[in-house]
Amino acid sequence: MAEDTTRTQPARRFGPGARPAQPRGFAGAETPFVRKVLIVLLVAALAFATYQFAYVLVLAFGALLLGVIIRAFVDQVARIPGLSGDAAFYVGLVLLIAVIGGFGYFFWVTMQGQVRDVVEQLPEAIRTLGERFDIPDPVERLEERFTSAAGDGSSLMSRAANIGFTVLGGIVDALIVVVAAIYLAYDPGLYRRGLVRLFPHEHQERIDTALLTTGNALRLWFFGQLVSMALVGVLTGLGFWWVGLPAPAALGLIAGVTNFIPFLGPFIGSAPAVVFAFNEGMDAVLWTIAVVTVVQQLEGNVFLPLIQRAAVRLAPAFALFAIVGFGLIWGFLGVFLAVPMAVTIMVLVKMLWMRETLGEETSVPGEDSGEDEDEDGEENGTRETVEEDAEDSGRPPG
């Protein structure tokens, strides 16, 4: 019988310091290394996409903020007996449009005369300001500068076309934001639950709670901002009337509306009043500056602390850096939406990082305020998501 030359190789044994061979991916590369490279590439791709679609992101946040405002108004309408569900939404939306349209019509009817007076007095105010600083014929010089800047007819038409396209693009963007906000306000739970399902199952409940709290915090911020704007506008208008400036109601309205813009708003809103004060004399200029300073001090040291006690508590330094950062990324829109973005970041960081990850006890604005955005679907939104995931995976819902 021939001797069997085939021998079974003994199993390889690893010594105490030896490590088993790591599973390899494509092209012989180790799987952990490939995974790390893919994660880095994915993060880089997401960063590049965020940079490329930055304007779309800020429009989406604007739609989200407007949707929160619309939903807050609809929830107040839903308190009326006999109104609920779709009926409350449509009635609230119509009432909101009617309120905004009625205010605009009332402003146009009552303020057009004063605004006309402001426009008519503008050349004289500029001329008086030029005399104060020994600038001869400032109006004529401005007209010459505008004429030389306009150039020939072709360049003027080109600039007019560019301005027209910019205005048209702004109108289209505004319509997109409004329509998207209406969709978000109609069924916020649909979009929220869809976003929650992108996360692992064990984290969905706290993600859902964080998103609800963020919406409540944005509501509180907006209501507080409205109160602050109204107080600034009324007090500034009364102060300008006391000083004797022309069109004090219009100037007060400008100061109140521009106060929505953080940090820059008071300077922008007070500039027209200071210009017209030069036409009334140097005393009027000093009193105008005093009125603006006193109102801003009252707002910053009295009004806002009282309002934020019932709303959000955003650190001023954090808000300032948010304005600078978002302004660099998105320009004027970033500055305009910087504070609500900062509120959103603050709520999410406190709930998902400081409290859930670090275990720190911290208060979160909007956590114990407001109601569910959708009485039918919001209360059980997380449970519906859990049950749907359970059905998809074949396990019984917990």
63 or 142, greater pLDDT: 63
Q: Which of 264, 241, 244 is nearest to 253 (CA)?
A: 241
CA gap 42, 44 in Å, rounded: 5
Count of H helices and E strands in the chain?
15, 0
Least confident of 84-98, 170-184, 384-398: 384-398
At 36 the pLDDT is 76
At 381 the pLDDT is 44
Average pLDDT over every residue of 220-226: 87
Is residue 268 very low, low, confident or very high in pLDDT (cuts 50, 70, 90)?
A: confident
Q: What angle do CA 274, 280, 284 make, to 5 degrees?
A: 60
pLDDT tens for residues 100-121?
887 777 667 656 665 566 667 7
pLDDT tens for residues 43-63?
888 777 777 777 888 889 999
Res. 90: pLDDT tops 70: yes
Q: What is the mean pLDDT of the chain?
A: 77
156 or 391, greater pLDDT: 156
At 184 the pLDDT is 93
At 63 the pLDDT is 93
Least confident of 177-186, 216-225, 329-338: 329-338
Q: What share of the chain is helix, strand, coil (3-state, %, to 5)?
A: 75, 0, 25
At 379 the pLDDT is 42
DSSP 5-35: ---PPPPP---TT--PPPPB-GGG-BHHHHH
Q: Which of 307, 182, 317 is nearest to 263 (CA)?
A: 317
356 or 4, greater pLDDT: 356
At 181 the pLDDT is 94
What tokens were used for 132?
A: 């104060």
Least confident of 17-26, 55-64, 364-373: 17-26
CA gap 188, 336 in Å, rounded: 24
At 285 the pLDDT is 81
Number of C-alpha atoms within 13 angstroms, CB side, residue 149? 8
Res. 2: pLDDT tops 60: no
Is residue 148 very low, low, confident or very high in pLDDT (cuts 50, 70, 90)?
A: low
At 376 the pLDDT is 43
At 307 the pLDDT is 78
